[in-house]
Structure 1
Amino acid sequence: MSILNDIWNRIARKPDRRKAAVTETSGTKNRVYAVVTEEGVILFSDTPKGMKARNSYLQHLADGFFNVTKVPETLRIYEIDLPTKRVAGLADNCIEKLSKADLRSTDAQLRRSVVNFTSDKFADRSVLDGGVCRAKFDLRPDFHNFDRLTKEFGLGISPRNYDVASLLYISENGYAGIVAADKVHPFSYEYEFRELAEKLGDSMRARMNAPLSAHDFGYAALQKEAKEMAADLLQSEFHITDGEFRLGARISRIERMEMSHPVSYPHSEEEQTGGLPETHYRQEAPEQRMSDSQRQVKHAASITPQKKEKKQLIL
């Protein structure tokens, strides 16, 4: 649970004062940092302005961490101690308008300045010559990947990312009551887990009242259901399955139930004419459909008594 506690403490987007202080005192005259993803390379100077711009870019990546349309899957940070004049000139080019208030602030990011991370701000990989890779981060949609990135740089967590991170945690570890008890940002899917949470509470109380019993009072089965429910929500709402973005890769629990117990839905024409409904996954072609009378002739035996032939009387 300590992992979730760390995430909740960062939800309010409070600046990490310790990291901000380090940022302002660790600058060197020539060093340049390169942040590399599949989209390209962005360069930042090792100055308070450059480090705040770098953290703003990392926040940009964190905000889109669970976006199915995102491109980056890997993040690398390089140090270039002796950059060429060309490389040094490309540093901090993402800052379009710098606010002096940001320089005076102890915040670790640029809050009032205008920054832009569009494709024209990226440099080619040739600028990495002579650089040393100091850190590597996996950006695939996994709980631990997200937690490591946001914790390492003291990044903020949006409400949407909080929901996804919580669902990922539940899908791996089971439901934790502290998810619903969070006061900073309510868990958006608390209602879906409410009934299950009540049953888990009853199970845990039963276990506490019978400490010598080897029976788990259904706890393991309930947690398995919670994991499956979270996995289904991740796929249906965010297209995440097993730490990967997959469109339509998983059939939800509701769909599985409907397939095992098909429900009949009447067509609009049949509602008007009073015809028999068809199941939602089976339809006949128009030329193959038969009238009710034809179905009766084909499948039901006639109950009309056969006419007896009249025998001719021979005199």
Structure 2
Amino acid sequence: MGKQIQLQDAAYILKAGWKLFSRRTSLETLQKDKQYREFIRHNEAAGRNNVSDEGKRVYAVATDEGVLFFSDSGKGMKTRNSYLQHLADSFFNFSKGVETLKLYEMEIPSRQVMELADNSIDKLAKSDLRNAGTQLRKSEFSFTKEKMAGKEMLEGAVCTDKYDLRPDYNNFDRLTKEFNLGISPRNYDVASLLYISENGYAGHVVADYFHPFSYEYEFRDLAEKLDDSIKARQSAPMSLHDFGYAALQMEAKVMARDILQSEFHITDGEFRLSGKANRTSQRTKTPEKCLFQQSKEPEPEKSGCQAAKHVSSVVPQKKEKKQLII
């Protein structure tokens, strides 16, 4: 008897562009693939036609502004991703009022919660359900506070992840990378400046074809001097002298911090105006799971979500170059 494969497995493998029979597409390997598990789970959810609305899973996204619920369906996931894109677009806005994002799952939501699911959609375009995109494109939707529920509606929900939304490069990089979110030109500029302020100037920042760096001119002289310094070090590999490299990188960091403060009001990972932070908070660590309990009073989180760590500063002695990945 020849090799056999489940129909839904074959559908996933062909969609991913892989060969049907290979080590990569063995059942054991597929079961370790997060996207495969999501694919199977959504197929199973779509086939449960005899299950009442109160038995379907619901996802929730909670911020300081409130809670939005999303159904476990293609429509719900695209709506949730559109909301995450909305948060990414406003990530570096001084006037935004959110610092923390938490994701929840509810296995057995109440009917009231089910009625709130996907209420962000004002008018659904059927083309959004047919296309292969991960967000809503043609539909009309909004994420106003009027559509958000209170956190008391999260009773029984399980917290699956937490994201720090304060203006930090690593926070922004994690959010946009994990959900494959788009990056606006302004956000690319701010993220690049944050990267430079921590790690020093890197040539690939201005070489990004899809996201041109608007502050290339301000760093042009420094970039040329850094290039000369690197060439001098390469021509004298036995020399212990860094030919001014460290001093130039420190100058680049200071310049980036000055631009961040003067034009975007960002200092040390906080929004600040006139030398004062517009909010104060401390970094917390992420629990793998946390059960929301309605009866307990809110307490300061002793072990919240894992704060994104800053990448270490650029060290000229190392051969490897840091890459700005957004």
Task: Provide TM-score, normalisation by structure 1.
Answer: 0.72
How many residues in Structure 1 have an aligned counterpart in Structure 2?
235
Residue of structure 2 equivalent to 1:189? 215
Matched residue, 1:120: 146
The equivalent residue for 1:295 is: none
List per-residue Cα deviations over 1:155-195 (Å, max 9, x = no partner). 00000000000000000000001111122121000000000
1:54 aligns with 2:80: yes
Work out the CA distance in 1 between the residues paired with 2:270 and 2:246: 26
Which of the pair has more CA radius of gyration?
A: 1
C-alpha spacing 1:113/1:26, structure 2 compared with 1 (3 Å)? farther
Determine what percentage of the aligned residue pairs are the same residue. 65
1:130 equivalent to 2:156? Answer yes
Q: Does 1:156 align with 2:182?
A: yes
- Which residues of 2 match residues 9-20 of structure 1 at below 5 A? none
Cα root mean square deviation, aligned: 1.9
1:244 aligned onto 2:259:
no
1:227 paired with 2:227, answer no
Instruction: Output the amino acid matched with 2:142.
Output: N
Which amino acid counterpart does residue 129 of structure 1 have in structure 2?
Answer: E
Q: Distance in 2 between matches of 1:113 and 1:23?
A: 24
The answer to whether the aligner puts 1:80 opposite 2:95 as a matched pair is: no
CA pair 23-99 structure 1, distance change in 2 beyond 3 A: farther
SS in 2 for 1:136: strand
Matched, 1:26 2:52: no
- Partner residue, 2:130: 104
Aligned residue for 1:75, secondary structure, equals strand
Structure 1 residue runs without a partner (length 5+) = 1-15, 251-315
Deviation of 1:20 after TM superposition, in Å, equals: 8.6
Q: CA deviation at 1:212?
A: 0.2
CA distance in 1, matches of 2:151, 2:203: 47
In structure 2, distance between residues paired with 1:184 and 1:154: 15
Q: TM-score, normalised by structure 2?
A: 0.69
> Is the contact made by 1:32 and 1:91 (CA closer than 8 Å) also made in structure 2?
yes
1:153 deviates by: 0.6
Give the structure with the higher percent helix. Answer: 1
Distance 1:39 1:24 in 2: 31
Which structure 2 segments of 5+ residues have no match? 1-15, 18-32, 49-55, 277-326
Partner of 2:248: helix, strand, or coil? helix
Is residue 62–residue 150 contact of structure 1 (8 Å, CA) maintained in 2? yes
What's the CA shift for 1:26?
Answer: 3.4
Partner of residue 42 from structure 1, selected from 68, 72, 81: 68
